[in-house]
Amino acid sequence: MRARAGRVSLRAMGDAAWLRPALLLVIIVALWALAVQIFNIPAYLIPRPLDVAEAMVDQWQTLLAEAVPTTLATLGGFALSVTVGIPLAMLIAGSRTVESYVYPLLVFSQSVPKVAIAPLLVVWFGFGMMPKVLTAFLLGVFPIVVSGVQGFKSVDPEMRDLVRSMRADWLQSFAYVNLPQALPSIFSGLKVSVTLAVVGAVVGEFVGANSGIGFVLQRSIGNFELPTMFAALVILALIGVILFWLIELVERVVVPWQASRRVEVAATA
């Protein structure tokens, strides 16, 4: 009986969502350390994982303090992306005229490198938080609009006809039919958007900032402090992973049927 319970617990651990990526991460770090050792790569090109870990331990207070403005800029840009992106997606999906005017320009705007726009934002808004927030917004709004348009256009026409036959007004149709059916696509865009917002915040810090993870990266590259630079990259990746996980957690609460469907698909894989 105990052996059976042990097998069940081991199987549950094997099916845990975090275990496989954690195992892959361990393998990657081990291969990294092995490659540095075998090919005798100098530390000024690629540091050892142990050196990166030591830099994180020695400078954790500084890295944590610098992560705060980056996270705030990311959250500000992401919130602005949600505020603008979802209503814009509703307008584009609901009006062919708006779509014909706005959608091509929106796609065209994504071909402009944000690194080229960031210096203009610094000139216009100074060296404060606003340029970083706007850069994060410019990178994060497009996935929300695209996924939102796809979600609102994929609403079942029969459901729309049903609520119209029941004499529901526009707000009731939106609340009970359009929005619930579009939420899975919207959350897909939100998860992409929040990771791009992290990139946008760092781009803004590269151009003009005296704090943040982007500033740490720029300073570390200039001083050839490779372990510190890699440690800052790890912190940056953690910010993106945590924010992605939080969006997924909200999705499980707001759209439970979509989350359960993904779990069923993963279980059959």
Query: Domain residues of the chain, as ranges?
Result: 1-41, 47-268
Model confidence pLDDT, tens digit, residues 236-269: 999 999 999 999 999 888 887 765 555 544 445 5
Q: How many helices (H) and strands (E) does the chain have?
A: 13, 0
Asked whether the predicted pLDDT for residue 8 surpasses 50, the reply is no
**CATH 1.10.3720.10 is the classification of domain 47-268:** yes
Model confidence pLDDT, tens digit, residues 59-99: 888 889 989 999 999 999 999 999 999 999 988 888 888 88
Asked whether the predicted pLDDT for residue 147 surpasses 50, the reply is yes
DSSP string, 111-151: TS-HHHHHHHHHHHH-SSSHHHHHHHHHHHHHHHHHHHHHH
- Give the Cα separation of 251 and 44 in Å (integer): 43
Band of pLDDT at residue 189, cut at 50, 70 and 90: very high
Contact 205, 74 (CB under 8 A): no
195 class by beta-carbon count within 10 Å (0-12 exposed, 13-18 middle, 19+ buried):
buried
- Give the Cα separation of 70 and 129 in Å (integer): 9
Mean pLDDT for the chain overall: 82
